[in-house]
Structure 1
């Protein structure tokens, strides 16, 4: 053991032995001791900013960084090996079968996810690290139930998404302080694989989620510089794509790129978290009440403005402008319904490529056959950096535009209740990526359902029938719909469903919605992993 480092779970002893080497633990401790105080200050700054928004201070582009936005001469580094062409990226959790199938899917890259599609049980985290290590070394092949899973000759380029800055890792403490979940995920992957990746012609590539300020990007850049020096890797070897999935970050895209410019691989339209953030950050604004989730599409005003600004910003600075996730998945038992769903995917990908995006996200290997031909037909080179979109003019008011056509319907309320219950229960049970009604739901989409229900109740919104959405009405729907959740999401346990019921009832009664359901529910995973009571609610 390394001095000052304590592991508070005995789960997965074999994976722990492989992952928690003395060298890796020393690296974790060094990162924590160097950067934890800065992380905490930045999280406090988020709270301060929210209080300003609640008091009516409008969001705007930062005057102190106007020179960064106006200076035309700076650019980000060229694409690293394997990141030149990213026309289709597949995403998903890090279980062994998923890793092989995603790397073999035909997509250009695979974003292996420790965040929104991963419930951070110790088993999922540690075995995920082992699986990625084995995939990089081409030692991941296995057989189960008579079926072989074998890595192809030319797998997708691997990109890893660690958890966001806000999440703690209660099962590992340094000097009696919980480790950052971000640094835990990043450090173990980087320490064990960075040199091997470079040797094989790739590199340590990352997706960075849920940032709210350019200083949070600066912290990541400092982590990269420190880490590369620590293991003797040349600076600027790391590449990172930032998900613009919070409303404050949309006002700071150029600043975020500037902070990471020597490690940047671009920006991504994290559409579902962005909608979640739009509601949450404007929680005190009655005018920001949105209609049914299905009506908040990429073509509504505030979403279209965000997309156009992101593409313009990235191409101005010569990096990738990645599109977002189309949540539809194949419908195997209904050809007509499947055709309708796949046509929605095609239309979404056509919108992205013609707008100037350099690639898109998918959640299922079969969707690659839908998305890739659209990009192949309209993006003849490896990217569209030449599409400058210089005509685009996006003002603060465009990013804050709440004019969204649509209504709140009973079907929309019911769907939100069912999805929130099913996803919350599944997450507690260790599964954070579930198909519901032929959509792939992860934490981001579940968060929309949660905060929309809160918003509708808090502001006394009415359905198109004229009926008000009250606490009692939502309670009634929870009671009606909860018994059917286990059929909707097979594998959900009754005890986890009851936690989900009480959690959702509590959420709609809160003065303000919780920041993240993953933070709220983490103690349940900590308890299941045998974490002592002292650390079960770390970070709450």
Structure 2
């Protein structure tokens, strides 16, 4: 699907070589200033080619893995880094205690509620929890600009309720989009800017000095990294930004999500590359499960069972979390736990108590294992998660906790999860993925479905599982072989109650993803083309 050629009206003060496309929003005048755009352009010109080369390297490596020409292992060439004794720079004062972090999209009311939730930190998510419409990305930046200055408020016209920040709020951490995404509404020398550089650059340009003045700092979560080379690129982006904006060296701080299987083999190296600016690593469990399927999915001996059966107690996922904790604590870094997808259930006390019990057990497991904090997706779960960590973590973190003696092998990280593949699991994946894609195309990136908070990561598991099961012609319940015809039938049956232009597009996109010989690395890439078509033609 190609983009419309419609452009914004000419802007006389755009820096040379930069162009804005698509609708003009009221917030742009204050955010996309000449100086801000010049800064964004400088980042893209300096780092854009290298980013694209690293993405090409991902594709080439995956081709070698698919062809059995390469196996995943800890890099021999960086053995000295793993063996040496070194630690990262100490974390800033307001990131010492991160026992509960809440995450969510960059919508105005949700930002206020998250900052007021009682969590230690709030991750404002431009990535998996947000659909990257131009309006969402620009308004999200404006919302964070106001939040940093504590001027953010919101009046709900339906309920009549007004929202403002409490005196004490969570520490703000921002997650930009991953290296794989672009922001098509801003081009630099004819090329769409990296979405990572756009989200990061616009936030740090407008807010870094103000955050430092208020005793905090520009803090980030870095998603979808696959290697130490990609971490090194972020380090250079940080250094260049600090110099260009006259910020103190090391004031930009980051936590890296280990949410890809290749990155699990380079945790030490990622910490080392970012050692002057990193604070910790995070078990991004849902993206990690997706990455396991994507990376090893063509192997007949690595077929993953129904999504509900793949938990953090599965041997490979347990090894992954143990390795992350051990690596982080050896280097003085925080080992953050993953997201609890369950959310409170209204009007059903039994279901609500069951959801709370699952969250409580998950957070107690993480705290007992040695994590320094965890994620929740809803303010109603902050207290449950905090109680789990308070029970075993009297100090601000568990970095000084003695390390386990056992080593985690490459084979341990690649054990296939055990379980069954069922028609019910197939139909659940269809319902969740298509409903999520529909919401994403409508501009909503974080969607409550069946008492779980679904985002792009969980939708990725759904579509990649269906692709893998179809690719290997698995047997459902030991009775029926999954074929393209059966997939079409199940999609038609599951979607009978849904109508509308976006649902048709979501169904089409889902089927394309599942029936492709080589599925795209992220569903957000082809989905972004759909999104842009709606945006540019609206």
TM-score, normalization: structure 2? Answer: 0.96
Separation of aligned partners in 2, 1:206 and 1:507: 31
- Displacement of 1:525: 1.9
Q: Counterparts of 2:174 and 2:537 in 1: how far apart (Å)?
A: 26
The alpha carbon displacement at 1:406 in A equals 1.5
| Contiguous gaps of at least 5 residues in structure 1 | 487-492, 533-540
- Which position in structure 2 is the counterpart of 1:538? none
1:259-338 equivalence runs, <5 A: 259-338=273-352
Residue in structure 2 matching 1:518, options 490, 514, 524? 524
CA distance in structure 2 between the partners assigned to 1:457 and 1:173 by the alignment: 38
The answer to whether structure 1 residue 16 and structure 2 residue 28 are counterparts is yes
SS state of the match for residue 536, structure 2? Answer: coil
User: What per-residue deviation string (whole Å, max 9, x for no partner) do you get for residues 179-217 of structure 1?
Assistant: 000000000000000000000000000000001110000
Deviations along 1:422-467, one digit per CA (max 9) or x if unpaired, are: 0111111101100000000000000000000010011011122421
1:524 to partner: Cα distance: 1.8
- Distance in 2, Cα, partners of 1:454 & 1:427: 20
Offset at 1:333?
1.2
- What aligned pairs does 1:20-35 form with structure 2 within 5 A after superposition? 20-35=32-47
* Match for residue 535 of structure 2 among 529, 533, 537: 529
Give the whole-Å Cα distance in 2 for the aligned partners of 1:226 and 1:506: 40
* Correspondence 1:187 to 2:187: no
Q: Does 1:219 align with 2:233?
A: yes
Q: Aligned residue for 2:5?
A: none
Shift of 1:48: 1.2
CA-CA distance at 1:401 after TM superposition? 0.7
Q: Counterparts of 1:30-429 in structure 2 under 5 Å?
A: 30-56=42-68, 57-72=70-85, 74-145=86-157, 146-402=160-416, 404-429=417-442
Q: Is the 8 A contact 1:309 1:392 kept in 2?
A: no
The match for 1:431 among 433, 439, 444 is 444
The aligned counterpart of 2:471 is 458
SS of 1:529 mapped into structure 2: helix
Q: Give how far 1:531 is off.
A: 7.5
Q: Any conservation in 2 of the 1:267–1:310 contact (CA below 8 Å)?
A: yes
Q: 2:513–2:523: 8 Å Cα contact kept in structure 1? A: no
Assess if the C-alpha contact under 8 Å between 1:170 and 1:531 holds in 2. Answer: no
- Give per-residue Cα distances to partners, 1:71-107, cap 9 Å, x unaligned: 01x1111111310100000000011000000000000
1:529 Cα shift? Answer: 2.4
How far apart are the structure 1 equivalents of 2:392 and 2:427?
39
1:406-428 alpha-carbon deviations (Å, 9 max, x no partner): 10112111100101110111111
| Residues in 2 aligned to 1:52 and 1:142: alpha-carbon distance in whole angstroms | 51
C-alpha spacing 1:244/1:236, structure 2 compared with 1 (3 Å): same
Instruction: Point out where structure 2 has 5 or more consecutive residues left out of the alignment.
Output: 1-13
- When structure 1 is superposed on structure 2, of 108-117 and 460-469 the one drifting more is 460-469
Query: With structure 1 as the length reference, what TM-score do the two structures score?
Result: 0.95
Question: CA contact under 8 A between 1:100 and 1:150: conserved in structure 2?
Answer: yes
Please say if residues 11 and 529 of structure 1, whose CA atoms lie closer than 8 Å, have aligned partners that are also in contact.
no
Deviates most, 240-249 or 76-85: 76-85
Q: Answer whether contact 2:344 2:380 (CA < 8 A) is retained.
A: yes
Aligned 1:494-505 pairs, distance under 5 A: 494-505=500-511
**Cα contact 2:298–2:468 (8 A) shared by 1:** no
Match in the other structure for 1:489: none
> Which segment is superposed worse, 323-332 or 506-515?
506-515
Aligned equivalents of 1:205, 1:483: Cα separation in 2 = 45
C-alpha offsets along residues 130-174 of structure 1, whole Å, 9 cap, x if unaligned?
A: 000001101102323321101000110000000000101111001
Residue range with higher mean Cα deviation, 321-330 or 133-142? 133-142
CA distance in 2, matches of 1:316, 1:163: 29
Aligned to 2:8: none
Q: Is the 8 A contact 1:107 1:368 kept in 2?
A: yes
Match of residue 3 from structure 2: none
Judge conservation of contact 1:9–1:171 (CA < 8 Å) in 2: yes
The farther-off stretch of 1-10 and 185-194 is: 1-10
User: SS at 1:3's partner residue?
Assistant: coil
Distance 1:63 1:124, change over 3 A: same
Residue 283 of structure 1 deviates from its aligned partner by 2.4
Contact 1:316 1:388 (C-alpha < 8 Å) held by counterparts: no
Aligned in 2, Cα 1:528/1:81: closer, same or farther, shift over 3 Å? farther
Matched residues in 2 for 1:298 and 1:526: separation?
Answer: 36
